[in-house]
Amino acid sequence: MELAPTKTILLASVFVFSFRLHAQLCTGSLGDPIATIDFGAGPNPGGPINNVPAAYQYTNQDCPPEGHYAIRNASFSCFSSDWHILAFDHTPSDPNGYFLLVNGLAGPSLVYQDTITGLCPNITVQVDAWVLNILKTLPCSGNGIDPSLTFSITDMAGNLIGQRVTGPIAETDVVPVWTSHSFLFNAPVNGSVILKITSNSQAGCGNDFAIDDITFRPCGPTITTAFANNVASPVTVCETNQQPVPITATYNGNYTNPIFQWQVSNNQGFSWTDIPGANGLSHSATPGSIGQKWYRCLVTDASFGGNASCRFASNTVVISVITPPFAQATNYVFGCYGSTIYLQAAGGSIYEWWGPNGFHSNDQAPAIPNVTFGATGTYIVKVTSTPGCFAYDTTTLTIYAAPIATLTPRSISICEGDSVQFNAGGSIRYKWSPSTGLSNDTIPNPWAKPVNDITYSVRVYNEYTCFDSLSVSVVVWKKPKAFAGPDQYFRKGRPVQLDGGASGTNVTYSWSPPAYLDNPNYLKAIARPPGTMTYTLTVISNNGCGVSTDEVKLEAIDKLFIPTGFTPNNDGLNDRWEIVTFEDYEDAVAEVYNRYGQLVYRGHAKNYKPWDGTFKNKPCLPGVYVYLVNLHNGKPVLKGTLNLIR
């Protein structure tokens, strides 16, 4: 509601101020404001008011010059930003509220005058006024004039009955600060007084100020309220299952016939409603609907004849009414016989379950292991929130029978590369794992062709997704493999070792022909053939998984032989560059050069060590190298290339 700026407003609401200076305050209990001067509300600018004397001229501009006043709900960037920006007035929760903005004349000068009526007769009244120095600290070379105001209260005959001089109100730099100035006076018998506000400071650079929210509240005897057993405010109760909350009032006064009245507020103290029949020092509050309910107790005396301005209010206590939790149990739970079933609830912080066969749990998600058909039925959960509110929900558990799986074979051995068919049964759907080597992992009778030993499991599902499982182990016999080794050169008349290899599961092996071998059943047999000869290695699977053969040629050499390549990769085959019959030439020397002409190897027949493909203990790069072999037998030096292969 828009209030007329020239009127004194009678209000029943309690204003809560956050910052107070120079206070002369009531030591008892304050009543609701009998009168409040807040200059109204509306769009900028507010109109002129009769309460400002003619010495001050009205302006509708944002920034009044000296000797002028304005009614504003905001003020911005006045006098090259020498004044603070005021985005709002002081009144709480009133973004369009007006304030009185004054650029003061030389004092003393009367700024404002108003008549206040309806005060409680012969009762102490507290006046609170909010004032702001709108000038910043830096203007006026830092020597701005601070406003100083006098608040005077006279009776209707002009007799002074109360006064407050604010003294200089200091500037602030970054943030404008409203300050409260309070004082007390005794109301006359007729309950009417005159308020005058006078500016005391000199004119010039400064003495610029704003005024807002001047309230008159009766000060009476002390009355306090508290919850029973000194329970701290606020008290939290649930919307459902409410129990009355006892509140007590303590009165410290000397009224002959005190009258008490409990009140409740649904809007955090902005308006209050009398509670019918609540007229004692105690009250059992039943708050009802959701939200905050504020309670207080008023005291007055019968001699005041029901004058509303003579009622004095206690402090407030608060009851918060909250909704019960939204209890949520899993809507429908089912499981398979013999499995573990998990119930689930949400919505609170404490949970309690009950169910068939004496089931009870305090877990949010309790488990029912190895469930039987006896667990079928309705489960109830109590969900409690942190403040202690609770609600219930239910869910139904259904148990289905599980299938019984069958499987053949349960274990089997096969040769590498062979297949075997499984046959599972017991229900309508199948799932095999792993799927490695299976023709299909979702049918009851897949073919399996694994490469290595493996165990397959099959799950047999019914229409309720209940399952049973079995497994089958498959042993894979590896096929025989023969490796007779690389063909070799050897000096005629000297022994040579075969370098055979055999693999496979449960195999036997032998060399043929057995002639000139020390043992034909050794993979590393020693051969002493009289000349070039070929041997065959035969590897046989004793499990019936086949036969494998491989041949090696041993070539006898009885003259100088220089290899043209070797593979120094430490696999035991052709790892060195070895010149056959080199030792027969007593003074022979062999040298190897890389592509840059650098000598990387030198060997002598007297202590011959074949080249291992390294230089200074580091592997040489693969590639083509040049060799020189000087037999020192009067014949030309032998020269050629050799390949180092890695």
Task: Specify whether the CB–CB gap between 345 and 384 falls below 8 A.
Answer: no
Task: Specify whether the CB–CB gap between 149 and 199 falls below 8 A.
Answer: yes
The domain that holds 531 is classified in CATH as: 2.60.40.10
CA distance 128 to 38: 12
Residue 14's pLDDT band (cuts 50, 70, 90): very low
The CA distances from residue 391 to 265, 324, 385, in Å, are 28, 6, 9
The per-residue pLDDT for range 195-244, each reduced to its tens digit, is 999 999 999 999 999 999 999 999 989 999 999 888 888 888 888 877 88
**Domain that includes residue 626, residue range:** 565-644
User: Which residues are CB-contacts of 607 (< 8 A; sequence separation ≥ 6)?
Assistant: none
- Judge if 99 and 212 occupy the same domain: yes
Residue 20's pLDDT band (cuts 50, 70, 90): very low
Partners of 320 in the β-ladder: 236, 292
CA-wise closest residue to 592 among 642, 555, 537: 642
Last residue of a domain, which of 199, 220, 241?
A: 220
351 phi and psi angles, rounded to 5 deg: -135, 145
Sign of the CA dihedral 608, 611, 612, 618?
Answer: positive
Q: What is the pTM of this model?
A: 0.54
Omega within 30 of 0 (cis) for the link into 434 = yes
pLDDT of residue 48: 96
Helix (H) or strand (E) holding 625: strand 623-630
Is there a domain that residue 15 lies in? no
- Judge if 630 and 589 occupy the same domain: yes
- Judge if 272 and 386 occupy the same domain: no
Q: Quick one: average pLDDT of 105-112?
A: 95
Q: Is the pLDDT of residue 544 over 80?
A: yes
- Judge if 103 and 163 occupy the same domain: yes
Structure-token pair, residue 224: 């306090």
Last residue of a domain, which of 273, 294, 322?
A: 322
The end-to-end CA distance of the chain, in Å, is 98
Partners of 150 in the β-ladder: 165, 198
**By mean pLDDT, which of 11-15, 327-331, 419-423, 512-516 is the weakest?**
11-15
Residue 547 identity (one-letter amino acid):
V
Task: Specify whether the CB–CB gap between 625 and 644 falls below 8 A.
Answer: yes
- Judge if 62 and 133 occupy the same domain: yes
- Judge if 344 and 300 occupy the same domain: no
- Judge if 255 and 342 occupy the same domain: no
Residue with tokens 């002390």: 222
3-state SS class at 230: helix
The per-residue pLDDT for range 497-507, each reduced to its tens digit, is 999 999 999 99
- Judge if 318 and 451 occupy the same domain: no
Percent of the chain scoring above 90 in pLDDT: 76
CA-wise closest residue to 543 among 625, 634, 633, 475: 475
CA distance 459 to 346: 33
Is there a domain that residue 5 lies in? no
Q: How many domains does the chain have?
A: 6
Residue with tokens 């009802």: 288
The domain that holds 636 is classified in CATH as: 2.60.40
Per-position DSSP letters for 337-360, written without gaps between them: TTS-EE--EESSSEEEEEEGGGEE
Q: Is the pLDDT of residue 194 over 80?
A: yes
Question: Would you give the distance in Å from CA 418 to the centre of its chain?
Answer: 56
Structure-token pair, residue 367: 């488990």
- Judge if 58 and 192 occupy the same domain: yes
Q: 482: buried, middle or exposed (CB in 10 Å: 19+, 13-18, 0-12)?
A: buried
Per-position DSSP letters for 88-132, written without gaps between them: S-SSTT-TTB-EEEEEPPSSSEEEEEEEE--PPTT-EEEEEEEEE
Task: Specify whether the CB–CB gap between 395 and 353 falls below 8 A.
Answer: no
pLDDT of residue 93: 75
Sign of the CA dihedral 491, 497, 503, 508?
Answer: positive
pLDDT of residue 10: 33
CA-wise closest residue to 144 among 85, 103, 100, 182: 103
